[in-house]
A and B are shown apart, each in its own frame.
Chain A
Amino acid sequence: MATAITLIEAKTLASSTTLVTFSAIPATYTDLQLLISVKSSAGATASYIGFNSSQASFSGQYLYSNPPTAPVGGTLARYIGSQGSNGFASYTIYIPNYASAKYKPFSVDNTDGNFGSGANLNMTCGLWANTAAINSIEIDANGNNMLQYSTFYLYGISNA
């Protein structure tokens, strides 16, 4: 089989929602990629990821840059970045080997759309220390609503 990227699901929000879940994800791909464009009801808010309806056994590190302030880093489990109400924020989430019986690392790059005069960078890596195959992905905006016209594209990556 040739290397391929397949759109599993695409969703544009018709109304505001607090939590978006992709469930019953087939285990037939090698990796998963989730692309998000989202605006939230809060001026600035964090976003979090969960797998299989679990928030346990996660760890994560981030590097956050808000020019001209020097970048800062830290650790925060499940954290994938930030977003705001003044513009759409972008997220690219990559989850390799999501169906394997190993722990699941993932990476995220995010640029929030909170500031009309600039953009902030979040680079994040995380680990879900669980050997179960990932069959659902949950995205939440720290309890704030993700607004209408926010988009979510879930892709499956198949290796040759």
Chain B
Amino acid sequence: MTEALTALEICCCGNCAAQGHEKETIRPLTTEEVAQRDANIAAYTAQKAEEEAAATVKAAAKASAEAKLAALGLTAEEIAAL
């Protein structure tokens, strides 16, 4: 899906009419803003992948530790209480 990429600018000067400009402006994103958007998407995607990988490693380590504790004779309740 292609969405229209627009920017809304709201002036906070409090005196727009006297200064001869619009209080609000809607315009298309600039080339630089589109490039920044693409960079943000890439950074966020990479960060989330890193989080998921770390969570997977942690879950595997936890399962391994629980299996080793169970092999030592601890019950599931005892392992959960640790």
Contact = CB atoms under 8 A, between A and B. Distances in A.
Chain A partners chain B: yes
Interface of A: 8-9, 11, 13, 16-26, 41, 46, 48, 55, 64, 69, 72, 74, 76-79, 140, 142-145, 152, 154
Interface string B21-65: 000101001000110111011011001001100110000000000
A9 B10 CA distance: 8
A9 B3 contact: no
A145 B2 CA distance: 11
Contacts of A145: 3-4
Nearest to B50: A74
Mostly helix, strand, loop or mixed at chain A's interface? strand
B51 to A, nearest CB: 5
A13 B7 CA distance: 11
Contacts of A64: 51
Contacts of A154: 12
Interface size class of B (residues with CB under 8 A): 20 to 34
A74 B41 contact: no
Contacts, number: 82
A23 B7 CA distance: 12
Interface in B7-27: 7-14, 24, 26
29 contacts: A9-B10, A11-B24, A13-B8, A16-B4, A17-B6, A17-B26, A18-B5, A18-B29, A19-B33, A22-B10, A23-B11, A25-B12, A26-B12, A26-B14, A48-B40, A55-B36, A64-B51, A72-B54, A74-B47, A76-B47, A77-B43, A78-B40, A140-B40, A142-B40, A143-B5, A143-B38, A143-B40, A145-B3, A145-B4
